Chains A and B, each alone.
Chain A
């Protein structure tokens, strides 16, 4: 038997595994963006053919849809590993649990958040947004969706041992995502004329994401350690 060292660091191996599991059959990583499309498509039917109204509320619709689409797969973020016993192994790993959580969130965001960001300009067009404003919605989602995933990770960790924790997860974290939603929509709805500023809400959105990046893994790790006992 030959001795060998694993080729990858634990976190790189975890990231690769998460991406593989998400992309293969049953992973459901494309569900989020399809759900996003469905919500955006339904809105004009509900509101009617008023293009001026539609283009005015488009940033809000896109952000709300993005928020709900992000939420979609989050309840399984730790639950799948909890049920099949992988979480126990992550707890006995030499890698700090906080970094494990951060890596899982990064992989989850790449699978669900990033497609939303890529699809947002296209869906903005469907809601009659002016073409020159589309970059703002994409940029605000790019900066804001990681915060949504990270805040969601806290809820996912808290509800990890509940069989039907999905709804509780939504109730727990939607209030916490209100600041992200407010400043995300504010940044996306800014106008060229400067009547509604872009830089201020954008910088606050960046700050919220950085805050979630630091705080959420610690909070989620504490919740997961409790879940085992």
Chain B
């Protein structure tokens, strides 16, 4: 079971310190809701946890300290959906399943699409999808490859009420499985979790 501990981390973007002195710990099955006004550094925190931004200071440790760095145990769902418009939904997901795979097997592409109510769209080019449907496909990759830490940046953007319910369901299942979730959000995601409030940077 994965456990994450951040102590006194600071992150800079373009020479400007966006986050500093941030500490938190996250146990298996826990969910951390990162809130705060625009520009508070929510996305920066998630990108830093995904290994996409270097830490200026502080440590981000995880136990068990296996060979895989934290970035390779994390799913990062950012603002961009990472879909190729000319490929079908199923082709996109098959590629992402292979690219993001870890030692453990994930769900099948069909099963993941069904979990997000997209089963009938599998053979449609991704460019034909609406913003909400693209978002659902981006979330479906959480299922096709199994990774213990989910880093979700505004996951419910563009999702309708039904899809928000599906998202809540897969997040609950992931936590029940011992997974960790860190979500940056303004809306309530329909799950309970500790809240980490980031202040606005001047």
Contacts and interface: CB of A to CB of B under 8 A. Distances in A.
Given A13-B98, A21-B86, A93-B100, A88 B105 contact: no
A228 B52 CA distance: 6
Interface string A24-44: 111100000000000000000
Nearest to B95: A17
Nearest to B147: A92
Contacts of B36: none
A92 B86 contact: no
A93 B51 CA distance: 11
Nearest to A1: B111
B115 A1 contact: yes
Nearest to B85: A26
Given A13-B98, A84-B82, A92 B87 contact: no
Contacts of A83: 80
Nearest to B125: A24
Contacts of A5: 101, 105-106
B97 interface: yes
A191 interface: no
Interface stretch (B67-75, B176-184, B188-196): B67-75
Given A5-B101, A89-B99, A20 B52 contact: no
Contacts of A94: 68, 72, 101-102
Nearest to B138: A85
Interface in A73-106: 83-86, 88-95
B171 interface: no
A83 B85 CA distance: 13
Given A21-B84, A85-B80, A91-B71, A10 B99 contact: yes
A3 B105 contact: yes
A92 B95 contact: no
Nearest to B50: A92
A54 B98 CA distance: 50
Nearest to A11: B98
A91 B52 contact: yes
B20 interface: no
Contacts of A17: 84, 87, 91, 95
Contact of B106 (A3, A21, A88): A3
Contacts of B38: none
A30 B84 CA distance: 19
Contacts of A92: 50-52, 71-72, 74-76, 100
A93 B99 contact: yes
A180 B150 CA distance: 46
Contacts of B111: 1-2
A164 interface: no
B94 interface: yes
A84 B80 contact: yes
Contact of A91 (B51, B79, B112, B145): B51
B158 interface: no
Given A4-B107, A5-B101, A88 B95 contact: no
Nearest to B111: A1
A90 B84 CA distance: 14
Q: Which residue, of A2, A26, A229, has the highest number of chain B Cβ atoms within 10 A?
A: A229
A13 B91 CA distance: 10
Given A21-B87, A84-B81, A84-B83, 17 more contacts: A1-B111, A1-B143, A2-B108, A4-B105, A9-B98, A13-B98, A17-B95, A20-B86, A21-B86, A85-B80, A88-B52, A89-B82, A89-B99, A91-B71, A92-B75, A94-B102, A229-B54
16 contacts: A1-B111, A1-B115, A4-B106, A4-B108, A10-B99, A10-B101, A13-B95, A26-B86, A84-B80, A85-B82, A88-B52, A92-B72, A92-B75, A92-B100, A95-B99, A229-B13
Please list the 3 inter-chain residue pairs (A to B) with the smallest Cβ-Cβ separation, ordered nearest first: A85-B80, A13-B98, A85-B82
